[in-house]
């Protein structure tokens, strides 16, 4: 098995659904602030919604990674979830959330939101801005236990904590890590923003695997495995890579403001390339 497998953005399924889905109005073709002709442009990393691919249904315990771009005054109306650990990371703009548990807030760049859907929750996500799109990465993880109590929480973004270093944002409830977000699954999520030519390292243990997403910019990912063999991949915005330990990883920015997200988990060998 290759230690680094590049998932080129051309391999992602791009969804631009009907504007009437989730209660939206017609697309606003006359609004100059819209950056996409459709209210939603979503890149699916794994089989989801209208994209059906049994060979690409998950990566470890990660069931969904959607890269969503929602235009102003549009969003996802009230809809249900159950028995899923959901983590959302806001890239830019502001995402407004409300649910039937009484939670309501708007989250901006670098903010992280989590929702342990458990026994069931109904929520909505909306871009309330008049003139700015919102982009966010939403990830779903299969829970350790079914039908647990519903939980919701969020953390405000801290640019200093992730500049040229990994910020450990999410960890397992059962772990000793002290992170802003804890969920009911063996997952660790890290994020960084790198100045040009800066790099960060990560050791992926032999029993672990990871999924790395280049959110913005361009990076070179290098890995040295246990046999001291070097593998590299260049990733630009929307590219990703599958990583398998034992692996010493270096992520180097080839452009200023390169923005990277890493999800690390127990190795099960799952891969879109299998």
Residues belonging to the binding site for Fe cation are 79, 81, 123, 125
Q: Report the greatest alpha carbon distance in the chain.
A: 58
Binding annotation: 79, 81, 123, 125
What whole-number distance in Å separates Cα of residue 274 and Cα of residue 271?
Answer: 5
Report how far apart the first and last C-alpha atoms of the chain are (Å, whole number): 9
Classified as helix, coil or strand, 92 is strand
Please tell me the total number of residues recorded for the chain in this structure: 274
Candidates 143, 157, 127, 102; CA nearest to 34 is 127
What whole-number distance in Å separates Cα of residue 77 and Cα of residue 58?
Answer: 26
The sheet with strand 74-81 has its strands ordered as 74-81, 121-127, 95-99, 104-107
Q: φ and ψ at 22, to 5 degrees?
A: 60, 25
Candidates 165, 172, 229; CA nearest to 200 is 165
């Amino acid at each position: 098995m290759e230690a680094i497998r590049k998932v080129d953005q051309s391999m992602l399924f791009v969804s631009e659904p009907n504007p009437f889905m989730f209660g939206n109005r017609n697309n606003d073709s006359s609004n100059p602030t819209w950056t996409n002709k459709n209210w939603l442009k979503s890149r699916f990393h794994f089989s989801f919604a209208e994209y059906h691919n049994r060979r690409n249904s998950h990566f470890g315990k990660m069931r969904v990674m959607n890269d969503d771009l929602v235009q102003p005054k549009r969003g996802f109306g009230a809809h249900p979830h159950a028995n899923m650990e959901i983590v959302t990371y806001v890239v830019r703009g502001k995402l407004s959330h409300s649910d039937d548990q009484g939670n309501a807030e708007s989250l901006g760049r670098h903010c992280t939101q989590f929702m342990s859907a458990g026994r069931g929750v109904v929520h909505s996500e909306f871009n309330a801005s008049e003139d700015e799109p919102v982009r966010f990465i939403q990830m779903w993880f299969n829970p350790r236990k079914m039908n647990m109590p519903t939980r919701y929480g969020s953390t405000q973004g801290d640019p200093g904590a992730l500049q040229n270093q990994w910020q450990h944002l999410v960890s397992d409830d059962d772990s000793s890590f002290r992170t802003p977000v804890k969920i009911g699954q063996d997952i660790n999520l890290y994020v960084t923003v790198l100045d040009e030519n800066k790099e960060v390292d990560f050791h992926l243990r032999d029993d672990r695997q990871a999924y790395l997403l280049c959110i913005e910019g361009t990076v070179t990912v290098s890995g040295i495995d246990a046999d001291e063999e070097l593998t590299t991949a260049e990733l630009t915005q929307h590219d990703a890579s599958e990583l398998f330990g034992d692996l010493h990883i270096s992520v180097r920015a080839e452009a200023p403001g390169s923005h990277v997200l890493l999800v690390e988990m127990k190795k099960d060998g799952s891969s879109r390339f299998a």
